[in-house]
Amino acid sequence: MILENTDFQSNTHIYNSNDSEKIDIFKKYDNLENHLETHDIGPKFIPTLIHIPHKIRVHFFKLIEQEFLRIYSKTNKSTILARNISLEKELEILNSTHKNKSIYINSCKNYIISLKKNDVLHENTTDIKETENIVDTIISNYKHIKISLLDLEKYLLNDNQLQAAGYILNMPIPEIQTSNLYFHCDRCNIPFTIKKIQHYTKCCYHWGKLIKANNEQTKIYSCCHENNTDSTGCITFPHHVFKITSPSKLAAEINFVMSQEPIQSSFLNAAVLDCEMIYTTGGMELARITIYDIYENLLIDKLIKPKNKIIDFNTRWSGIKSLDDAKLSLSDLHDILFRDLKLCSSTILIGHGLENDLIAIRLIHKRIIDTALLFQDEKGLQHKHSLKYLAKKYLKREIQTNIIDGHDSKEDAIATLDLVRYKIYHDNLKKNL
């Protein structure tokens, strides 16, 4: 059973003179400000929301919840399901009506009437999967899910999992490098020496991934749809670029720091981060870092000056077009992380493919939640889904859609946090079934 959809982009004249029955249902709700009481459990209070009093929101939340309790009354999942859906739906109505009081009230009434048309679900007419599908048609962003440290602890990776996923767990010993060191270009795979990285050449490559063609036998590149056996590349660049993967070589280029034990009772408990990297004469370097706490407060969003000369901003992926406004060095960033944000070894860091971000930051940290591993399928550790794929599949959200201007670390960080909210919500839902 799928609940009826309701268009919330409605005007104040939802009910006409022929809707007397509908109007009677809500007649007693006139002059709401004078009759409503607040409740301990309900929509989150928004101090800046002055046009719609909080007690009105609480009231309609209760009416919506009452209908969902009725719909799920014959199942063993009624309470938590009804409450979570009602919280999300009330917030959705609030946002869709642009916080206009009269439109909000009428939209709530209209939605409640639509709920009254839905039959009661019985245990033998729905299963966990179908129930989750119903929830997914209603819940789109999971913003109402409160993240607790206890919830997060369940998803921390152990040392073996971290090591298998490519995380650096111990301080590497720097390996002295020479200018004659060979690397394979990160794009075209042609070998070249570091000392020639600034020499003009012709790097021909595909920026897209190999995907299956219609016949499933041939693979084509997503960027140009050319056959992988017939094409050397669809785009050219005047330099080769490279990426260092060896911990000792990374440490030789820019050394690592390790998060330390907390020195005071107050520290950063948990945060989600995302970084953007560019290509330099020293490999890939950090160019932007974005960190939110788990309440979605922005802690830092800064451009970072690279140590080496820039070869390519990698704009299609990094979103970086210039670093003229970058004021912070990587060392400055470390000071901010440890001194100002109070990041320590007890902090839980959340990210997607976070091993790459930590390498860019040159940070060794072990309290990790990685959504690339959190949402793995049966293919195992070698097959990690992209953040774009996971956001579309689980959050019904399109991200990273601009192939010209590139990714936005703020958008990616929020999507990562919402995936954790999704995981918490559905795991708790299953636990209560």
Phi, psi of 62 (to 5 degrees): -65, -40
Give first-to-last CA distance, the chain, whole Å.
18
SS3 assignment, position 202 = coil
- Looking at the structure, do residues 352 and 410 belong to the same domain, yes or no? yes
Calculate the CA 208 to chain-centre distance: 22
Distance CA 333, CA 260 (A): 15
Q: Is residue 320 part of a domain?
A: yes
Cα gap 258→169, rounded to integer Å: 9
User: Is 394 contained in some domain?
Assistant: yes
- 342 and 411 housed in the same domain: yes
- Looking at the fold, whether 272 and 305 belong to one and the same domain comes out as yes
Please give the pLDDT value at position 93.
84
The pTM assigned to this predicted structure is: 0.70
One domain for residues 296 and 393: yes
Structural domain that includes position 134:
20-138
Q: Are residues 298 and 203 in the same domain?
A: no
Same-domain check for residues 294 and 169? yes
Q: Is residue 355 part of a domain?
A: yes
Q: Are 135 and 85 in contact (CB under 8 A)?
A: yes
What does the pLDDT profile of the chain (433 residues) look like in tens digits? 333 333 333 333 333 333 333 333 343 333 433 333 334 467 777 765 667 888 899 999 999 999 888 888 877 666 777 888 888 888 888 877 666 788 888 889 888 988 888 777 765 554 444 454 555 544 455 676 788 999 999 999 999 999 999 999 999 999 977 667 889 999 999 999 988 888 899 999 999 888 887 766 778 888 888 887 777 899 999 999 999 999 999 999 999 999 999 988 899 999 999 999 999 999 999 999 999 999 999 999 999 999 999 999 999 999 999 999 999 999 999 999 999 999 999 999 999 999 999 999 999 999 999 999 999 865 555 678 999 999 988 888 888 877 677 789 999 999 999 999 999 988 887 775 5
Which two tokens mark 135? 């929830």
Q: What is the pLDDT of residue 363?
A: 99
Per the domain annotation, does 6 fall within a domain? no
Q: DSSP letter for 329, please.
A: -
Give the pLDDT confidence score for residue 64 in this predicted structure: 92
Instruction: Using alpha carbons, list the distances in angstroms from residue 113 to 103, 106, 361.
Output: 15, 11, 53
| Of 136, 119, 116, 2, the residue nearest 72 (C-alpha) | 119
Q: Which pair of structure tokens corresponds to residue 118?
A: 């839905």
Is residue 7 assigned to a domain? no
Do 329 and 222 belong together in one domain?
no
Whether residue 92 is found in the same domain as residue 192? no
Q: Please check whether residue 4 lies inside any domain of the structure.
A: no
Tally helices (H) and strands (E) across the chain: 14, 14
Bridge-based pairing of strands 368-370 and 348-351 is parallel
* Six-digit token string for 369: 């939640």
Kindly state whether residue 11 falls inside one of the protein's structural domains: no
pLDDT of residue 133: 52
Same domain, 162 and 221: no
State which of 217, 237, 257 marks the end of a domain. 237
Please indicate, yes or no, if residue 380 is contained in any of the structural domains.
yes
**Could you give the number of structural domains in the chain?**
3
> 368 with 269, same domain?
yes
Task: State the pLDDT at residue 75.
Answer: 73
Looking at the structure, tell me whether residues 378 and 402 fall in a common domain.
yes
CATH number at residue 359: 3.30.420.10
Residue 251 CB-half CA count within 13 A = 16
Q: Are residues 298 and 420 in the same domain?
A: yes
- Find tokens 């200018």 and name the residue: 179
* Domain boundary residue, one of 112, 138, 164: 138
